[in-house]
Amino acid sequence: MDFTRYFLRGLKGTLRFNNGVNLSYKGPWVEIFPNTVIDEFYVGDFMSAEYTICVDGGTVDKEIIKCLVVAGPSSASITIYGRTSLQDDMITLSATVNDSKVTLLASPIGPESKKLIFSVSYYHAINDL
């Protein structure tokens, strides 16, 4: 695969996409049940993460959520800063932490089956624990 067809060296040490190159996601997907683990990371590795979460409940049930998670050894916080759906909210999100691992959880709203995919950007811890 010739990666030079897709990427250029960007300013300030960034990776730049060539014009017309984008990202797309299809899976793998996970079916949502109460307290389904969506993602996990260790507090010593990363301090925060930014998620784009897409939920599919069928033909007319679609939702996209943008959220941030930040965590330390004893607490985690989640902020949903963007959310839109074709009907009503389809899931609830929560973040928990034990002494070493952060867990992002999703639970369905309503009895209908829902599937979820996500993308994430992780941000490394700057200071060692």
Is the separation of the CB atoms in 117 and 29 below 8 Å? yes
Q: What is the mean pLDDT of residues 8-37?
A: 92
Is 98 exposed, middle or buried, given 0-12, 13-18 or 19+ CB atoms closer than 10 A?
A: exposed
pLDDT of residue 21: 92
Q: How far apart are CA 125 and CA 44, in angstroms?
A: 7
Provide the token pair at 63. Answer: 């939702």
Whether 4 has a pLDDT exceeding 90, the answer reads no
- The pTM for the full model equals 0.89
pLDDT of residue 93: 98
Residue 111 phi, psi (nearest 5): -85, -15
What is residue 60's DSSP assignment? Answer: S
